[in-house]
């Protein structure tokens, strides 16, 4: 095979992977800022399990969403397969995998006071001072940003330069940076004590998936020393005991407080593991006004 043929084959392979296979999940995670909360939601798996319909609630019927579906033809309950995103109060970045009508997306920006240039669409968000920007990464993959920076989506269009992998194979997971655990003011009261107990650890991963009975949340955190891990397990168990004693009797496993009160913790050298059983009814309660 000649050098030209080899080069052509390599370029063709790259184009095929970029256009049809898209960006791998690990690379998507690596493009997100590590200092922010990062998460992944396998919508396709949740849809197959009937959970998407349970979580949709009334939000999917709001006029803004109905109008968006009408103009773009995109309905997350049907067309979205995977979300890998980072979130903070100032900015949301996400890579979405699914079925998108790029022409409809471009037209939507133009109809709402925005426009598209060099492959990036921009428009004003409903929140003053915020901008929405999105760009097509590959067939079936869309980068999205909500930020004060109208070009924020371009952060996701550049390769990370790392050799990344997916943190978990569970349908839902969160990567929580240490800085986020130090400020618990935005967390529900039931979660504040547990977050405080974890504030001395490094990055925390929380994954939610199915087990043999129903669902299970699994926490993994790394400490600096085995002694620190042992002490942190004690603090997590103590916080869980307080939660059990203060939780209203009528709150069961279908509330956040009820789930957190059932946590079990252990340590192995410097690693901490936490497990919480989750009843299927919890997802139905989430679509309403869960405590």
Mean pLDDT of successive 10-residue segments in the chain (291 residues)? 36 36 89 94 91 66 80 93 94 96 94 94 93 95 97 94 87 92 78 88 92 84 95 94 76 73 95 90 59 41
pTM for the full predicted model:
0.84
User: Which helix H or strand E contains 268, and what residues bound it?
Assistant: strand 264-268
pLDDT at 156: 96
Using a 10 angstrom Cβ sphere, with 0-12 exposed, 13-18 middle and 19 or more buried, the burial of residue 85 is: buried
User: Which helix H or strand E contains 239, and what residues bound it?
Assistant: helix 226-246
pLDDT at 11: 33
Beta bridge partners of 96: 83, 142
Intra-chain end-to-end CA distance of the chain, in Å: 66
pLDDT at 247: 73
DSSP state of 19: I
Helices within 114-222 (DSSP H only):
178-181, 189-198
Angle between helix 102-111 and helix 63-72 axes, rounded to 10 deg: 130
Sequence-distant (6+) residues with CB within 8 A of 266 are 233, 272, 273
Is the Cα torsion angle 186, 151, 153, 99 positive or negative in sign? Answer: positive
Q: How far apart are CA 33 and CA 158, in angstroms?
A: 13
């Amino acid at each position: 095979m000649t050098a030209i043929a080899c080069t052509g084959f390599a370029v063709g392979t790259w184009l095929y992977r970029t256009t049809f296979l898209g960006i791998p999940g690990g690379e998507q995670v690596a493009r997100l800022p590590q200092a922010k909360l990062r998460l992944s939601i396998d919508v396709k798996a949740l849809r197959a399990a009937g959970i998407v319909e349970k979580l949709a609630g009334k939000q999917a019927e709001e006029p803004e969403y109905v109008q968006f579906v009408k103009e773009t033809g995109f309905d997350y309950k049907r067309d979205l397969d995977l979300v890998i995103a980072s979130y903070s109060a100032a900015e949301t970045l996400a890579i979405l995998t699914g079925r998108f009508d790029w022409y409809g997306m471009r037209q939507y920006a133009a109809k709402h006071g925005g426009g598209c240039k060099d492959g990036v669409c921009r428009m004003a968000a409903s929140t003053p001072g915020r901008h929405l920007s999105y760009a097509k990464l590959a067939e079936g993959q869309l980068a999205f940003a909500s930020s004060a920076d109208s070009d924020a989506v371009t952060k996701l269009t550049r390769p990370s330069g790392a050799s990344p992998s997916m943190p978990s194979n569970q349908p839902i997971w969160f990567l929580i940076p240490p800085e986020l655990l130090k400020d618990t003011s935005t967390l529900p009261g039931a979660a504040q004590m547990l977050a405080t107990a974890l504030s001395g650890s490094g990055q925390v991963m929380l994954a939610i998936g199915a087990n043999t009975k129903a669902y299970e949340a699994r926490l993994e955190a790394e400490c600096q020393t085995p002694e620190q891990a042992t002490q942190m397990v004690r603090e997590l168990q103590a916080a869980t005991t307080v939660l059990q004693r203060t939780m209203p009797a009528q709150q069961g496993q279908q509330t956040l407080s009820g789930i957190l009160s059932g946590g079990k913790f252990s340590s192995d050298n410097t690693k901490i593991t936490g497990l919480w059983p989750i009843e299927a009814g919890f997802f139905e309660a989430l679509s309403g006004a869960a405590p």
